[in-house]
Amino acid sequence: MPIVRPRLTDYHGILLAQSEADFAIPFLDEDIPLYLDPFLLWRSPSQQDNALHTALVNSFNHLGHLEKQGKHSEATEILTALSECDEVGFGHSHTREGRRIGSATASKIVELFRIVPEYERRGFVHFEEIQFFVDHISRDRISDIACNLLKSFLIDYTIQQCRLSGIPTNEVATSVYSYKENKIVTERGLGLPCDPESNKPLVLVPKRWLRFRPWLDFNEYLAEYFPKENKVTSINPSRVDVLTFNRQHYGAVREYIAIKERSAGDCKNDPLFSQIPIASAKESLKAIKAIPTGLKDENDVKYERELSRLLASTFYPQLDFAKAQSRTESGVLIRDLVFYNNRSHPFLAELYEKYDSRQIVMEMKNVKELQRDHLNQLNRYLTEQFGRFGIILTRRAPATKIFRNTIDLWAGQRRCILILDDYDIEQIVTLYESKQRDPIDVLKKKYVEFARACPS
Amino acid sequence: MEKRDDIAEFEKLEQQVHSFLADVSELSKKRPNDPLNKFKLKFINTALTRLNKILKSERPFANFSEFDLDDLPSNSDVVLLLSQYAAALHRFRVENTTDDGDNSTWIVRGKDSGIDAGNPDDFKYLPK
């Protein structure tokens, strides 16, 4: 049974909410929109993380050692191989396959060990500084190089986490940077989880190392710390001008790094999902209530946008939001919200057992009155991939005959379709705000009302 | 009153209902539509279930025995029902005590038990 935006755990039917996992649960067909920031390892209170950062930087500085020994091509070769790490899948690519850097870029990075006297003498302390000197180095590249240099540890971590969560593994071979030999070697017989389609191995990364923007960030440096009143570059220098300036004026970069190191206490990992604040939830509700029904002026799109944002937050952490998706059926555009059912709540476990609900689909209908056709559309959809449970979100309470229809569907086919209107959304926001009960209790309440109306 | 033991139980529960009502009324003044949390509801339900056994047909509503956690009762819902209970408790006290002009005593199975009940009006719930 195909599922929407599959995650590794859902594919194997493992009950694990992202909020409870220590690692970022990988998506199978796209990347996690966060990056490994080496600075988080450096500032971590954990000795293990600090030691890993030292190993990481030592490995990177070994490239400088090679360069100084005249083994330039060996160094660029290693760096090119390190520049992409498909196993972890971070970034915004939808294919999970990235491209390596070219030999010219690799050459420029390795040359830093000769051009910048500081690096020539003592090497890097934060290797992500390369982004201040070389073009085409962005956060995903830094993250990939770091992942590759730490891969040996990450593999052990993955094996351990898979054992804890019961994620199935296969014996695979993958390339690993050897800290002892300072080169990339192929390791065989590793028990790693694999992408079920491509059979490529996957490596898990602790959540605590992930950030959306690296702590040392070129854009931030350029906007706030780059000395604009210098005599070398113009007032609005191009990226290349800045990179060239930095190469010749290492002091500017050093100062930025020193400031960022001093404020390291503020450097925190970014959550994989952050809820909207209560004030925004109330604003969202107000906006939803003000939207007129119908398709005019793209009101349906506005309704969908506000509602997805609101519900993704209010149902967290019991339901992890998967995706807002669109489909067309007989010329009508239908918008859905899809949530992963982690069975993290007794009510959700019941939905899974009774209705095979692996993902919960919510269909949004910005209509004045819900029609039988709308029920049928969702009902047809339920057979395909979502089990036999679905929710329709609409503006007004349905007519009695429509509610009777949902009961008949249960009586005839044991399917459950709940209908939530603006009043229920309001109650969800009230619960989100008051924190006296979980907003998901509103779903349960609707379900209990539905179950009471069903013939026994 | 059916048993002498019920007297102490009734008096205890009566005070509990009064203090629940006072507390939830405070919450309800500020946020009437917020649901009451499960923790509070469980204790209120325990008191109501035990009272129902004593009140029997004197219950305020025949089709209400306790709050359903799944129904998400709001603060004002709970105040409404607890007020009804407070009134029913007062009525029950008046009907189950006898006043010989000197002091008031409890009636158990139709007979004067001799157990002091106090003036029923002193046990009426008074909103703050």
For chain A, give every residue range classified as CATH 3.40.91. 278-453
pLDDT cut 90: percent of chain B above it: 73
Residues B72, A434: C-beta atoms closer than 8 Å: no
Residue B120 in contact with residue B104, Cβ under 8 Å?
yes
What H or E segment, with its residue span, contains residue A308?
helix A299-314
Peptide bond into A317 cis (omega under 30): yes
To the nearest whole Å, the CA of B28 is away from the closest chain A CA by 13
Instruction: Give how far the C-alpha of residue B33 lies from the chain's centroid of Cα atoms, to the nearest Å.
Output: 23
Q: What is the SS3 assignment for A416?
A: strand
Residue A140 has pLDDT above 70, yes or no: yes
What pLDDT, on a 0 to 100 scale, did the predictor assign at position A2?
63
- Please, where are the H alpha helices in A116-238? 117-122, 139-149, 151-165, 218-220
Residue A208 has pLDDT above 80, yes or no: yes
What pLDDT, on a 0 to 100 scale, did the predictor assign at position A332?
67
Phi first, then psi: what are they for A183, rounded to 5°? -155, 170
To the nearest whole Å, the CA of A443 is away from the closest chain B CA by 10
Residue B57 to residue B71: CA distance in whole angstroms: 25
To the nearest whole Å, the CA of B31 is away from the closest chain A CA by 9
What pLDDT, on a 0 to 100 scale, did the predictor assign at position A386?
81
CB atoms within 10 A of CB A272: 16
Residue B111 corresponds to which amino acid?
K
Residue A356 to residue A413: CA distance in whole angstroms: 13
Q: Give the tens place of pLDDT for each residue, B67-91.
A: 999 999 999 999 999 999 999 999 9
What pLDDT, on a 0 to 100 scale, did the predictor assign at position A330?
66
- CB contacts, 8 Å: B72 with chain A: 427, 431, 437, 441-442, 445
Chain A residue with minimum CA distance to B37: A436
pLDDT cut 70: percent of chain B above it: 100
Residues A444, B70: C-beta atoms closer than 8 Å: yes
pLDDT band for position A27 (cuts 50, 70, 90): confident
Residue A417 in contact with residue A375, Cβ under 8 Å?
yes
Per DSSP, chain A holds a count of helices (H) and strands (E) of 18, 9
Q: Give the tens place of pLDDT for each residue, A335-364.
A: 788 888 888 899 999 999 999 888 898 999
Residue A17 in contact with residue A199, Cβ under 8 Å?
no
Residue A409 to residue B33: CA distance in whole angstroms: 33
Residues B35, A448: C-beta atoms closer than 8 Å: no
- Edge-to-edge strands of the sheet including A416-420? A319-329, A332-341, A359-365, A389-394, A416-420
Residue A153 to residue A206: CA distance in whole angstroms: 11
Q: Give the tens place of pLDDT for each residue, A272-328.
A: 777 888 888 889 999 999 999 888 888 888 898 889 889 988 998 888 888 787 776
Residue B99 to residue B119: CA distance in whole angstroms: 9
Residue A54 has pLDDT above 90, yes or no: yes
* pTM (two decimals): 0.74
Residue A95 has pLDDT above 70, yes or no: no
Chain A residue with minimum CA distance to B31: A434
To the nearest whole Å, the CA of A444 is away from the closest chain B CA by 7
Chain A residue with minimum CA distance to B70: A445
State both tokens at A407: 């009961």
**What does the DSSP 8-state code read for residue A93?**
-
Within 87-106 of B, beta carbons closer than 8 Å to A belong to none
Q: Give the tens place of pLDDT for each residue, A259-286.
A: 999 999 888 888 877 788 888 888 999 9
Residue A43 has pLDDT above 80, yes or no: yes
Chain B residue with minimum CA distance to A449: B71
Q: What is the SS3 assignment for A96?
A: coil
Q: Determine contact: B31 vs chain A, CB below 8 A.
A: yes
Residue A386 to residue A355: CA distance in whole angstroms: 9
Residue A88 has pLDDT above 90, yes or no: no
Residue A96 has pLDDT above 80, yes or no: no
To the nearest whole Å, the CA of B70 is away from the closest chain A CA by 5
CB atoms within 10 A of CB B63: 5
- Reported CATH class of domain A278-453: alpha beta
- CB contacts, 8 Å: B28 with chain A: none
* Disruptive mutation site among B70, B74, B76 for chain A (greatest number of A CBs within 10 Å): B70
**What does the DSSP 8-state code read for residue A129?**
G
* Pairing state between β A359-365 and A332-341: antiparallel
Residues B70, A445: C-beta atoms closer than 8 Å: yes
Residue A194 to residue A256: CA distance in whole angstroms: 41
